[in-house]
């Protein structure tokens, strides 16, 4: 969690705090200091801490600065108060970054203080309404967030990915700035740390893309969603294995540390339902659907209502053509649990295909492997299309350096599926693309390892959408 200190004593500061309340993320905690307390709407008490005292008091501000803040934002009406507040902060924290709303010609001593001149900003905005005057980039569009700049951090899941393998649906990377130089995007261009990306698209989509770019390991199932959803159709499951299935799902829930919703449809065995209800707790919700009409629409509604980021199913349910197609349309990862022990799994196995879909889900593979403590194994079937596979392997090696997680590349002349069938236990990770929704009969003569996923149906598998 990043701690941010806000010192406010003006109307602009009050509006600023309200905007933060409406747009705040779960990664920040805000400490707000005001000389007179103000009431704000829809405040998340776990994310905002309010203090009422004079920020020009060195004794009081010094006590608060005993905590480690990433930056301070100062918005005050009186120039003398601003200067003394900065002086007090600097006497305690020499290098702390300070952002100051300035209405005056305050001298910048260069000690990590950023002065935002409100007069210049207002004049620039008014200039946009003058005829025959170019509009600066920050004010292009309708101003609802359809144009966004994102700085790519070193540990981002987008680092060292080629633009050609990034799914850009309803959004586009239209420019890249590197070392203050403009680079025009093309399919072979690779994103590097500290690149500044200019994005254009639907505002809601760009917010998800922003979270995905800024995401580091330990966030899965984000950015797909925040909760786990176990789908249990009692007309299809094997009652003799249902207890083991639930226990394995709960084990995954504890590893990922996200809320688990157990959805029961077509309830038919009261004793089994009561046994499942024993798992109910603060972080495990039991939701029973007694009506069997419109189950598909209810599934989509649950995905949205519960903000689902991972669907957990049994192999019997995933084998069902209709359900598999429905889950694909939800565009969330799927964890298919087999009848093998899960707690003993040590390896995450990935078979490299002839396309580069694996590169699209690489960051999620690393995230899952880190949280579940899996070793990453890449199986490279030596055949044609080796150039694409080698580029994917290079990408994985780059990510392994970033995330300090080793990988193992296994080169084989025989089909990796046959090799994995002889392996005791593992979890297979693969892209969840539309071709996996086809009936199995159409893949009998295929050489595509992804279409042949059902050959490893007796093992745990995680299907990851290639789209954000």
Tell me if 88 sits within 8 A of 97, measured CB to CB: no
What is the pLDDT, as a whole number, of residue 324? Answer: 92
Please enumerate, as own/partner, the contacts of 223-226 that have beta carbons within 8 Å and a separation of 24 or more: 223/309, 223/468, 224/308, 224/309, 224/310, 224/331, 224/332, 224/333, 224/465, 224/468, 225/303, 225/306, 225/307, 225/308, 225/309, 225/310, 225/332, 226/258, 226/259, 226/307, 226/309
What is the pLDDT, as a whole number, of residue 141? Answer: 60
Whole-number CA gyration radius for the chain: 26
The whole-number average pLDDT for the span 19-48 is 82
Whether residue 131 is predicted with pLDDT greater than 80 in this model: the reply is: no
Peptide bond into 156 cis (omega under 30): no
What is the pLDDT, as a whole number, of residue 229? Answer: 96
| Domain 227-337 sits in CATH 3.40.50.620 | yes
In this chain, the answer to whether the domains covering 141-214 and 347-465 adopt an identical fold is no
Tell me if 148 sits within 8 A of 136, measured CB to CB: no
pTM assigned to the model: 0.62
State the residue for tokens 């990922």. 256
**Which residues are CB-contacts of 343 (< 8 A; sequence separation ≥ 6)?**
248, 251
What is the pLDDT, as a whole number, of residue 464? Answer: 93
Whether residue 135 is predicted with pLDDT greater than 50 in this model: the reply is: no
Q: Domain 347-465: which topology?
A: Rossmann fold (3.40.50)
Tell me if 269 sits within 8 A of 238, measured CB to CB: no
What is the pLDDT, as a whole number, of residue 137? Answer: 46
The domains of the chain are located at: 2-126, 141-214, 227-337, 347-465
CATH code that applies to domain 2-126? 3.40.50.720
Whether residue 444 is predicted with pLDDT greater than 80 in this model: the reply is: no
**C-alpha span between 185 and 176 (Å, rounded):** 7
In CATH terms, the superfamily for domain 141-214 is: Regulator of K+ conductance, C-terminal domain (3.30.70.1450)
Please tell me the total number of residues recorded for the chain in this structure: 468
**C-alpha span between 260 and 228 (Å, rounded):** 5
**C-alpha span between 115 and 127 (Å, rounded):** 21
Whether residue 138 is predicted with pLDDT greater than 60 in this model: the reply is: no
What is the pLDDT, as a whole number, of residue 253? Answer: 92
- Residue 340: CA atoms inside 13 Å, Cβ hemisphere, count? 17
Return mean pLDDT, the chain: 84
Report the 10 Å Cβ neighbour count for 259: 18
Whether residue 225 is predicted with pLDDT greater than 90 in this model: the reply is: no
Which two three-digit tokens encode residue 198?
């200019």
Whether residue 128 is predicted with pLDDT greater than 50 in this model: the reply is: yes
What is the pLDDT, as a whole number, of residue 155? Answer: 67
**C-alpha span between 384 and 255 (Å, rounded):** 39
Question: Which of left, alpha, beta for 42 (phi over 0: left; psi -120 to 50: alpha)?
Answer: left
Tell me if 265 sits within 8 A of 289, measured CB to CB: yes
> Who wins on pLDDT, 418 or 308?
308
Whether residue 303 is predicted with pLDDT greater than 80 in this model: the reply is: yes
In tens, the pLDDT along 54-104 reads 888 888 888 888 888 888 999 888 888 888 888 888 888 888 888 888 888
In tens, the pLDDT along 90-113 reads 888 888 888 888 888 777 666 678
In tens, the pLDDT along 257-293 reads 889 999 999 888 888 889 889 888 889 999 998 887 8
């Amino acid at each position: 969690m990043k701690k941010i200190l806000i010192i406010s004593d003006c109307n602009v500061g009050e509006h600023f705090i309200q905007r933060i309340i409406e747009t705040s993320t779960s990664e920040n905690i805000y400490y707000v200091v005001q000389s007179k307390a103000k009431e704000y709407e829809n405040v998340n008490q776990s994310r905002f801490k309010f203090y009422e005292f004079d920020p020009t008091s060195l004794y009081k501000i010094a006590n608060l600065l005993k905590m480690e803040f990433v930056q301070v934002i100062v918005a005050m009406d009186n120039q003398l108060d601003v200067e003394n507040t900065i002086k007090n902060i600097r006497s305690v924290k020499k290098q702390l970054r300070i952002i100051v709303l300035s209405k005056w010609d305050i001298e910048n001593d260069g000690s990590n203080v950023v002065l935002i001149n409100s007069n210049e900003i207002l004049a620039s905005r008014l200039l946009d309404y003058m005829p025959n005057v170019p509009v600066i980039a920050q004010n292009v569009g309708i101003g609802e967030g359809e144009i966004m700049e994102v700085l790519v951090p070193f540990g981002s899941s987008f680092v060292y990915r080629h633009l050609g393998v990034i799914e850009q649906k309803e959004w586009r990377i239209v420019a890249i700035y590197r070392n203050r130089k403009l680079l025009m995007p093309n399919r072979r261009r690779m994103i590097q740390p500290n690149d500044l990306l200019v994005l254009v698209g639907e505002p809601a989509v760009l917010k998800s893309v922003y979270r995905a770019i800024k995401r580091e390991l330990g966030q899965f199932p984000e950015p797909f969603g925040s909760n786990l959803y176990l789908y249990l159709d009692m007309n299809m499951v094997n009652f003799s294995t249902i207890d083991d299935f639930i226990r394995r799902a709960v084990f995954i829930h504890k590893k990922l540390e996200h809320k688990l919703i157990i959805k029961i449809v077509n309830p038919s065995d009261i004793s089994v339902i009561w046994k499942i209800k024993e798992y109910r707790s603060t972080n495990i919700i039991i939701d029973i659907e007694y009506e069997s009409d419109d189950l598909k629409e209810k599934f989509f509604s649950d995905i949205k209502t519960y903000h689902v980021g991972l669907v957990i199913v049994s192999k019997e349910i995933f084998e069902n053509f209709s359900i598999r197609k429905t889950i694909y349309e939800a565009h969330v990862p799927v964890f298919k649990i087999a009848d093998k022990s899960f707690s003993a799994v040590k390896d995450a196995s990935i078979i490299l295909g002839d396309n580069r879909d694996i590169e699209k889900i690489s960051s999620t593979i690393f995230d899952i492997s880190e949280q579940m403590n899996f070793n990453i194994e890449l199986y490279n079937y030596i055949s044609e299309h080796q150039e694409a596979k080698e580029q994917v392997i290079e990408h994985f090696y780059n990510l392994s350096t970033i995330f300090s997680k080793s990988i193992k590349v296994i080169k084989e002349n025989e089909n990796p599926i046959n090799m994995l069938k002889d392996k005791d236990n593992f979890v297979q990770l693969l892209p969840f693309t539309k071709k996996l929704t086809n009936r199995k009969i159409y893949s009998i003569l295929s050489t595509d390892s992804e279409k042949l996923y059902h050959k490893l149906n007796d093992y745990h598998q995680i299907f990851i959408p290639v789209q954000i």
